[in-house]
Amino acid sequence: MISLQLSRIFSEMALMLEYKEENFFKINAYRQAARILRNIEDLERFISEDRLEELPGIGKNLREKILEYYRTGRIAEYEKLKGEIPLIIFDLLKIPGIGVKTAKQIFEVYRPDTLDEVESLAKAHKLKEIPGIGSKTEQQILVGIASAREWQEKIPVSLYSRNQTELLELIKSLPGVEKVSSTGSLRLKEEIIPYYHFLIVFNGSKEKFSELMENLGFKLLEQQDGMLFLAPEGFKVKIDFATFDSWGNKLFLTTGPESFVKAIGVLEKSFSDEEIIFKSRGLPYVEPELRTAEGVLEFLNEADTTDLITAADIKGDLHIHSQHSDGINSIKDLALAAQKLGYEYISINDHSKSLTVAKGLDEERLLAQIEEIEALNRELEGITVLKGIEVEILKDGSLDLPDKLLAQLDVVVASVHTGFKLPREEQTARIIEAIKNEHVDIIGHPTGRLLGRRDQYDVDVEEIIVQAAKYSTALEINSSPERLDLKDEYVNRARQEGVLIAINTDAHDTYRLANDLQFGVTVARKALLTKKDVLNAKDLNSLKKFLRRK
């Protein structure tokens, strides 16, 4: 998608300009534009309707570059900059923990050409000889290189969710393909998959199917029972084969996971339909996404999968950003979009003042926003806009807005956006301090991870859950497919401790508001959450009772 492509380009331009020690404001403009574009799904519509000026933080120079890319598929300044920066710098910057300054130091001292060379330098303890890089940073670089290599072979949900339908339709359109389904980790809706995985019934030989794929630019990598292809775009696609008679068995077995297959037991005969397998065991059909859930079969002894939370149960979204900070839309536009989704309420939770890169709100701007929301609620019918903030948790656990102001809000989400490298004890204590605050309702994206880009920070999640239960503070499933934070195993533990979960989108535009909830609901279902476990499955009156609990 053009918005994601431009977001990557502008992000790289910011890094290259920083490497060249260019003007800070120019660097920040590209960085902010990258953040904004990452959250826009329909950039082409803004372009075709000549409405780019409506995007906050996108000035004349950036608009021209967007149009240049839209018309030509390239940006001349980007290509010029890329020719001036050593290629190894881009590889170094993919390593968690390495910033521009450190990457530049490593290159200027040792002139490495590959990450293998950087790894050898770190193992020989050469990097710590560079001023500013100590033993701890050197070790972090080694861990980061291993992590970067691991992620290189994986596809996060933020990517595969955009491509899987198109890919499935492509395979379905091939002559001789009579039936097709996703399978494996793709069908299980895992947050990370190693490859796109499909099961097909094909009327022809495997050699013929391989020929059809190769005609589309796919390269055959492996052939055993199935086939593994490399797509022209660089990702991998695995194809397994079945007959109509064996379809149920093959779909069940290739979907997995192994632990679930083992729990169901050996299949003594062929089944043409997967659902018949469950009936033969006296079980209700278990949807693929639930098969990875810990204790799902035990759950089915006491309840039914129809009791689990669904997107239709959600009454509102309690973490949304408007154009007051780094969002795209006005509060009114967000409210009207939420009303179309059938929501009773939304909460506007723009960033607070410490997060300057996201135009965080200070006291004066937040007070003005409160007045705007109150006026809007007098105007609108059928939807309530709750006054909120995503307040920054500072390193000492204090919040960057005064309690007196937070008391005027309906929904306070407290989050960490800086200080990811604090020691485990300090990071944990920091978040617990926020949990204890009488005005904090929800801890946002509690572990700080970004799938494929940043691991969670070192924090005692178990203790966070215990303290959240003690102080009646909800924890968030951030539904952004870049985050999915909390992960399902932690959500399951929170459920067991009686902690309420808020399934929020953290949307920065109306498209994300409408489309990202599904990812958080999948996490919640994998954790076996029911309506009673979910804060924003409550109606407005019940929600308000919770918000007055402390």
Confidence band, pLDDT 50/70/90 cuts, at residue 51: confident
DSSP string of 382-395, one letter each residue: S-EEEEEEEEEB-T
For residue 442, the surrounding DSSP H or E stretch is strand 442-443
CB atoms inside a 10 Å sphere around CB 203: 10
* Selected residue with higher pLDDT from 300 and 264: 264
Is the pLDDT reported for residue 24 higher than 90?
Answer: no
Is the pLDDT reported for residue 3 higher than 90?
Answer: no
85 conformational bin, left if phi > 0, alpha if psi -120 to 50, beta if neither: beta
Please give the angle made by the CA atoms of 357, 418 and 459, to the nearest 5 degrees: 155
Query: 141-145, 196-200, 405-409: lowest mean pLDDT where?
Result: 141-145
Which residues lie closer than 8 Å to 126 by C-beta, 6 or more apart?
A: 110
Is the pLDDT reported for residue 115 higher than 90?
Answer: no
* Selected residue with higher pLDDT from 31 and 345: 345
Structure tokens at 465: 């859950």
Cis ω on the peptide bond leading into residue 253 (within 30° of 0)?
no
pLDDT of residue 398: 97
pLDDT of residue 485: 96
Q: Identify whether the C-beta of residue 258 lies closer than 8 Å to the C-beta of residue 270.
A: no
Is the pLDDT reported for residue 334 higher than 90?
Answer: yes
Confidence band, pLDDT 50/70/90 cuts, at residue 222: very high
Mean pLDDT, range 313-331, rounded to an integer: 95
Please state, in angstroms and rounded to a whole number, the distance separating the CA atoms of residues 420 and 395. 9
Structure tokens at 29: 């403009």
Query: 327-331, 339-343, 536-540: lowest mean pLDDT where?
Result: 327-331
Cis ω on the peptide bond leading into residue 212 (within 30° of 0)?
no
Confidence band, pLDDT 50/70/90 cuts, at residue 142: confident
Please state, in angstroms and rounded to a whole number, the distance separating the CA atoms of residues 529 and 500. 10
pLDDT of residue 1: 66
Specify the fold of 156-303. Beta Polymerase; domain 2 (3.30.460)
pLDDT of residue 93: 86
* Selected residue with higher pLDDT from 235 and 385: 385
Q: In the chain, pLDDT over 70 holds for what percent of residues?
A: 99
pLDDT of residue 274: 96
* Backbone torsions φ then ψ of 210, nearest 5 degrees: -60, -40
Mean pLDDT, range 137-141, rounded to an integer: 84
User: 2-138: which CATH architecture?
Assistant: Orthogonal Bundle (1.10)
CB atoms inside a 10 Å sphere around CB 41: 17
- The mean of the pLDDT values for the chain is 92
Confidence band, pLDDT 50/70/90 cuts, at residue 268: confident
Superfamily of domain 311-547: Metal-dependent hydrolases (3.20.20.140)
Mean pLDDT, range 233-262, rounded to an integer: 95
Q: Identify whether the C-beta of residue 456 lies closer than 8 Å to the C-beta of residue 480.
A: no
Please state, in angstroms and rounded to a whole number, the distance separating the CA atoms of residues 541 and 521. 22
Please state, in angstroms and rounded to a whole number, the distance separating the CA atoms of residues 58 and 63. 6
Mean pLDDT, range 498-520, rounded to an integer: 95
CB atoms inside a 10 Å sphere around CB 53: 11
Inter-axis angle of helices 76-84 and 2-19, to 10 degrees?
40
Summarised one tens digit per residue, pLDDT across range 351-399 is 999 998 888 999 999 999 999 999 999 999 999 999 999 999 999 999 9
Count Cβ neighbours within 10 Å for each residue of 324-340 and write b for 16 or more, e otherwise.
bbbbbbebebbbebbbe
Please give the angle made by the CA atoms of 234, 240 and 245, to the nearest 5 degrees: 155
CB atoms inside a 10 Å sphere around CB 164: 19
Domains of the chain, residue spans = 2-138, 156-303, 311-547
Mean pLDDT, range 170-178, rounded to an integer: 97
Please give the angle made by the CA atoms of 262, 266 and 271, to the nearest 5 degrees: 115
